Structure 1
């Protein structure tokens, strides 16, 4: 398998090479569009296929067409057939979206076929829409990975086809709800518009009546017009009108136009299409409408579709001679958008999002916010490794970017709306995880090459012991170090700010630990909990773990040296105090958390701000999954997509619990066991301004034949009213109001699931004086069902399929038992006006956590090790502002880098950090060279910002979307300014 992957990577490299110059072409784009006739109803036919990069089959099974017993679809045949059909008739047009498939296909083509495809692209007849590696989900994805997967596809298109292939339109036709942040990101990618297919059934009705299915979406509350994106809701999701499916898998009648034959049907087919066009036009505001002709994995025989569409277009247009006003022609979403732009009308605007999504009454697609929580965490962990690997590669100047492609490609697939969403079949979820694992293995090779450069002291040419990850450290397992006489832990901090963390290292022996200066450090030697030791699949014999405090430099590493305690030498461990089933208090210089003897958290006090939050109840509950309605089968049960509780009230997982409290110099923690399958450990570290909640859930029991949706609930005395706040893809935060929608009169049919929203990094409630913020380590669903309450769903095990296509119940198992999942929440109690500093920096640290690599050193003693290897290093010499984040640091070529920096505070969040900030990018390069050229690019890095010209629109409020984009090119001055929530992208060349 590795040989096959290596060959694909070589092909990828052959089509990429060094970054190519940016050139302009005028043989494609809007100039090639047919804008129809001004006195007609112009019907833009958009021929397309929607190809999931994994769902019922894996991405490669879909590509090759294997596993036909599941579904008989093969993308390679679709692309073969489409290209052939396009070459047959110059009037035909087609769009394609998923670069994961197109890249596979392109690597197999002859030069003649490639040249023919390039001609189709240059003529605007084959148009790439969105251009990401996949059509990403919008509820469970993080903005870093959304940008990366679009940039990966954009780079391939730019290097392969040039400017004519640059996507200008977002095409999110299948995701299950739409994020405002996604609109903002696409606007920053230089897109002129966005089209999607799914909208809440209650929202669609008034929009159709009022002709407001197309609008100006204001994607950011901070970035102004540069985040605005014209957005349209498609009329038939993404299929064609009823009875007009011309695919080999459809049963609709073809156009039979030989009058000599008995089945001649042109008059009926023409009139039916004209009727469908008029019916659709009732919901749209101009004399242009779009009709999508395609569906999932259509066009294995594209000639069948195009032959019938050729006839349909011909005969419908002939009907104009008899008074018809319908004018139909091949088009693309960008040409349709351009026609709307030329209509010069004003449009309604929208500033909220499209969550949650309900397809029909009682069917809220909010379960997938949490489905497959282990995969959701693994995807976030893999992204952490990807960003660290890019940084290490860049600072070591090893120029191994091609090796990082494995993980980049796997991450691009994982963003798909049937991947990280958790809505795929189990064997497909396993494939996504396997690809991430293989990509991580390749990344570790790059990490080793980088550390071979960075670890040796100057002048030393010594081999560096192999670095390895311990991916099961979350269950206190690291097999390679068990029994070792000495080992090292190297912690790379990927943020541009110093951080303090508390590593946990599971061991089978007692060690002494030295910090980077050689000092013996104070560490706790703590027993591993019985819950952790009994997790299915854990094979470690470690009974204890070391816990110590590590203060890491910005954008750099520290190495900690473990050496086994010599026989006869007594090790002094810090005193550990343990009390069982008694009231206890966790307290440091900033916070206090009080528990009663029954294990209930009763209050959290912030000493610095004199804020006290009384906790009325904190613990685990479960909703019983609805099994469905046999008498009304159209009403779905809970499943991979849908969350539908049988009754709108959660039940405590246990009425009794036990509590053990541990107090040491470094940490104080309360371990609370609810039953044999749920526990939590609430920790307060020395110097910390937040409380950690580590939870373990599973195996969820199903012997009673009841599906269960497990939540953590935090009930407080905060007077929050009906309001709560959730983030969008890890960036901006939106206000939510229980049982309310900002843009239509909402009828409450599901009081629980209808109030669930995606939580990608944080949720909070507040009143005038107090705010409780909860940070998450992965995407989860949740909300506030009661005033003062927050609930977050952490795990699901359901026993019915929700009949939305996957045809498989969400019943994850491992080692013959229900899946056990561990995770983390961070609790922050503060005043509302001060909370941003903690929740912004805390969320960034959760997302870009220091990466631990281990090694068994090839030196005989610590003295020998410290003489040869650096134990601390930082890429930065200057302290960077707290409100700036390094999003991307990627070496493109020997002296060329791609850098994205962002201001990650919102307007008016903080008196100090919500102000514009100026930084010097040269600070990032002090260890590797001097910047001699900088070009500012759009977010996807496939066009200089100076060359971006987006379409202008007017809203009904009299606002223009026009924005003057400034640009920095060939700069000698390396300082830049960032405004709140702004991301800036640069291609940088160094001496």
Structure 2
């Protein structure tokens, strides 16, 4: 069944080239705009279906594991369709395509035709349309776009224009990113609604009627990033006492006057009162009421039957002078009514982080929760993008096999997935899905390499490639003891890169580069810390480290051949010192440590610029365990970060330091204790410092949960300001103990100043900037002037009572989970820093993918005669400020391509300028571009057909702009402006 579903989806995706049709029976034309002289109440019937949380996505879909909770999404969708067919006035919205796609694939043709009718009549409306309702704090923009494109493609090919979402519906994520608003606007959305907002922010906005606004989602993209945004009145649940779901206990509408429990007058009066109270917080005579909640609707007829009555009896009161007019509606129709009100709206330019639901409950712990899963999600995305590229450039047309990983990635973006706020067995399921998707993608990678590796005129010989996902713990079992193997590195960026692969081995080898030269390589011992990581089974004691310069959008293959007389191999000189002060130095940087492992200085030699460190190392906050006598004071948990005291404790006052210097790299390895260590690496020619950290098993023998941070205390005069990125794109200024939107009352000094760090954080003064790049999403901030702290791991013994019902206590191999990760440190002048941190973050995110093989050739000479060892899709140099975001083969001759300008305005004197490029450059190895159609960001509508609603701000600014004319192309040549992403469907000859 699973393979049939995949093939089915692949077949319908071929329709991307089909004409885009519109219908008058859906969309804004089908909206009830109410009565101009009444208070119009838009009733929105909905369900919020987490694609995994307390149960796995499949368990939720089928309704299994009822001992956890009795929820089954298949029954909800069955019930909704039946209820909508009973009454043409009823409407319902649905969001999570990860569930709807499962349900759709199990329906008969008759049922599918019924659903299509409901969609075409605007009675079943798809809102947001992503595979999941994604998290906004820990997701990367690449994956946000992908998961929305996946859902949008399914909807477009299944239902056409009537199913195109026009509204973002982020009702449950725990804080909201400005970048997401910008991305939604670029997808052609007209608005965004969400349910969660900081309690202080809501208290400030409510009496001022400022719960609805124009959110300026980008500091670079002007009006194309503006998005009308509304905060829902009751989270996303029904008003108090009006929940009619089968799981609710509120009184139904009992309208038989002959029965003792007749309650229509009381219920009508209560509803009218609730509507009037809600209207006090909103600026027009239209208000929205959500009727639904988590997994509601398994018997949706019960909800609709009572709502039918409520609508009837409330509206009858208009003859008695009531001004309340109530009707079934949708978020898009509510938005359209607000637009028609021709009101001037307030604006917002910052974001909605951090989020506190009540005093002392800052949901900032999940910025770091489950750090291993957060890293695995990034790794899986790296493989997904590489697989798409290999499929496209080899023209294998195997997109259906890539769907497995695309779908798993779509689920992983859910706000209880990559966020780390799910139960442990669900986290395991997310990881398993990613792993299964990666395994399927290897079929594509192997098929592509069989073609790309084979030299012209040679019979294609498939040398199976395989991944070694455990090289982060210096383990690659398939190559251990082999006489020969190859390492192929695919560079997914459009710029050449230099990297330093590390290959764990059990013997010594000669390494040959793509033209047969022997590669100078370091043969270095694997650290004791790494060898002691639980679960490591490798017998490798050493690893090779060498410099690899890779072509843009292409690969190099390196050939490893064991040497018979290994003891006669002349090794490169290695100098090692123990527990002595040392200085790591190359052409650009100097890094000084004392004999106890304390980082003292980083000097930028090119700029004669020094940053001194008063402290650098690991600290831990004791997790607040909660207090049964004061349940309003939450414990620290999967969601909430709440330290017991506001001062962090160092894991050790000193460490043992081991400094190693070779021709390729200089390293300082520092061990603080038996569960925390770090290693600084400075490579030849590098302008940044690489720091690898290893934390765990976090000890809990003292019954104290611990939140582990890395702190960098410097002499930079940063004041209270620091800077963090949003979803890997634009950077926002943060000010300690401050909110730009309202007068902030400090109730949690530490967690209230934590923000998501998706790729980078920095502090600066007039002359110095210290930037830290991260390899996954983490939480952090600046608690003191001149300081950066980043939380890297958490092990907590109590639940925070926010719903997951489980302590965040990850274990593996019978002990606490060990996690390793990477930070990149950059020291620069503020005006020169953008080039390093922009390029560095992109290369860290889109890292070259390493695959290994065991060739069946007798010698290197034989191998080199048969196989092409270096290849690039590009023959021209591409602009440094351009990034290839998506390269996806849709059909044999059609491709989906996204290119972006990834610098911001005024960041860099050179690279913040607009740039012109020719897309034909990407297709030189494939064919000639015959046709290009520019699409909206999620690729479900030609940009020329996009017509967004216009809004007016209180500053007399109009949101109107002609997007298509602003970004017209000339043939295959196009211009990109700072932070702009352009999406094209391309047909080649």
Q: Give the RMSD, CA atoms, in angstroms.
A: 1.0
**Is 1:522 aligned with 2:504?**
no
Correspondence for 2:9 among 12, 25, 50? 12
CA distance in 1: counterparts of 2:78 and 2:331, whole angstroms: 22
CA-to-partner distance for each residue in 1:954-989, whole Å, 9 max, x for gaps? 000110000111259997711100000000000000
| Structure 2 CA distance for partners of 1:917 and 1:510, relative to 1, 3 Å | same
Corresponding residue for 2:348?
350
Gaps (5+ residues) in structure 1? none
**Is 1:825 aligned with 2:837?**
no
CA shift, 1:629, in A, is 2.2
CA distance in 2: counterparts of 1:242 and 1:145, whole angstroms: 37
**Is 1:657 aligned with 2:655?**
yes
**Is 1:122 aligned with 2:120?**
yes
Correspondence for 2:65 among 48, 57, 67? 67
CA shift, 1:21, in A, is 2.4
1:552-701 alignment runs, 5 A limit: 552-567=550-565, 570-701=568-699
| Structure 2 CA distance for partners of 1:678 and 1:530, relative to 1, 3 Å | same
Q: Secondary structure at the match of 1:893?
A: coil
CA-to-partner distance for each residue in 1:74-103, whole Å, 9 max, x for gaps? 000000000000000000000000000000
Greater alpha carbon shift after TM alignment, 78-87 vs 627-636: 627-636
CA distance in 1: counterparts of 2:2 and 2:56, whole angstroms: 16
Corresponding residue for 1:281?
279
CA shift, 1:18, in A, is 4.1
Corresponding residue for 2:747?
749
Corresponding residue for 1:142?
140
Correspondence for 1:912 among 910, 913, 923? 910
The ranges of structure 1 where at least 4 consecutive aligned residues each deviate by more than 6 angstroms after the TM superposition are: 968-972
Corresponding residue for 1:382?
380
Q: Is the 8 A contact 2:451 2:460 kept in 1?
A: no
**Is 1:251 aligned with 2:249?**
yes
Q: Secondary structure at the match of 1:338?
A: helix
CA shift, 1:605, in A, is 0.4
Corresponding residue for 2:955?
957
CA distance in 2: counterparts of 1:463 and 1:517, whole angstroms: 20
Corresponding residue for 2:162?
164
CA shift, 1:656, in A, is 2.8
Q: Secondary structure at the match of 2:612?
A: strand
CA distance in 1: counterparts of 2:566 and 2:575, whole angstroms: 25
Corresponding residue for 1:979?
977
1:19-418 alignment runs, 5 A limit: 19=16, 20-418=18-416
Greater alpha carbon shift after TM alignment, 399-408 vs 560-569: 560-569
**Is 1:799 aligned with 2:797?**
yes
Correspondence for 1:540 among 538, 553, 556? 538
Q: Is the 8 A contact 1:935 1:969 kept in 2?
A: no
**Is 1:836 aligned with 2:834?**
yes
Corresponding residue for 1:430?
428
Corresponding residue for 2:812?
814
**What TM-score, normalized by structure 1, do the two folds share?**
0.99
CA-to-partner distance for each residue in 1:671-703, whole Å, 9 max, x for gaps? 000000000000000000000000000000000
Corresponding residue for 2:876?
878
Q: Is the 8 A contact 1:934 1:968 kept in 2?
A: no
Q: Secondary structure at the match of 1:17?
A: helix
CA-to-partner distance for each residue in 1:579-611, whole Å, 9 max, x for gaps? 000000000000000000110000000011121
CA distance in 2: counterparts of 1:568 and 1:663, whole angstroms: 22
CA shift, 1:236, in A, is 0.1
CA-to-partner distance for each residue in 1:187-217, whole Å, 9 max, x for gaps? 0000000000000000001110100000000
Gaps (5+ residues) in structure 2? none
CA shift, 1:576, in A, is 0.5
**Is 1:492 aligned with 2:502?**
no
CA shift, 1:311, in A, is 0.1
CA shift, 1:568, in A, is 6.7
Correspondence for 1:466 among 457, 464, 469? 464
Corresponding residue for 2:787?
789
CA distance in 1: counterparts of 2:387 and 2:493, whole angstroms: 13
Q: Is the 8 A contact 1:18 1:892 kept in 2?
A: no
1:442-453 alignment runs, 5 A limit: 442-453=440-451
Corresponding residue for 2:722?
724
Corresponding residue for 2:924?
926
Q: Secondary structure at the match of 2:22?
A: coil
Q: Secondary structure at the match of 1:557?
A: strand
Q: Secondary structure at the match of 2:797?
A: coil
Corresponding residue for 2:506?
508
CA-to-partner distance for each residue in 1:379-424, whole Å, 9 max, x for gaps? 0000000000000000000000010000000000000000000000
Q: Secondary structure at the match of 2:204?
A: helix
Q: Secondary structure at the match of 1:810?
A: coil
CA distance in 1: counterparts of 2:873 and 2:581, whole angstroms: 47
Q: Secondary structure at the match of 2:959?
A: coil
Q: Secondary structure at the match of 1:379?
A: helix
CA distance in 1: counterparts of 2:460 and 2:51, whole angstroms: 44
CA distance in 2: counterparts of 1:490 and 1:46, whole angstroms: 53
Q: Secondary structure at the match of 2:549?
A: strand
Q: Is the 8 A contact 1:935 1:968 kept in 2?
A: no
Q: Secondary structure at the match of 1:791?
A: strand
Corresponding residue for 1:758?
756
Q: Is the 8 A contact 1:94 1:125 kept in 2?
A: yes
| Structure 2 CA distance for partners of 1:755 and 1:564, relative to 1, 3 Å | same
Corresponding residue for 1:866?
864
CA-to-partner distance for each residue in 1:654-681, whole Å, 9 max, x for gaps? 1231000000000000000000000000
Q: Is the 8 A contact 2:767 2:830 kept in 1?
A: yes
Q: Secondary structure at the match of 1:966?
A: helix
CA distance in 2: counterparts of 1:814 and 1:660, whole angstroms: 29
Corresponding residue for 1:778?
776
**What TM-score, normalized by structure 2, do the two folds share?**
0.99
Q: Is the 8 A contact 1:936 1:968 kept in 2?
A: no
CA distance in 1: counterparts of 2:854 and 2:953, whole angstroms: 63
Corresponding residue for 1:419?
417
Q: Is the 8 A contact 1:934 1:987 kept in 2?
A: yes
CA distance in 2: counterparts of 1:966 and 1:239, whole angstroms: 39
CA-to-partner distance for each residue in 1:325-353, whole Å, 9 max, x for gaps? 10000000000000000000100000000
CA shift, 1:908, in A, is 0.2
CA shift, 1:485, in A, is 0.3
CA shift, 1:16, in A, is 3.1
Q: Secondary structure at the match of 1:341?
A: helix
CA shift, 1:571, in A, is 1.2
Q: Is the 8 A contact 1:137 1:418 kept in 2?
A: yes
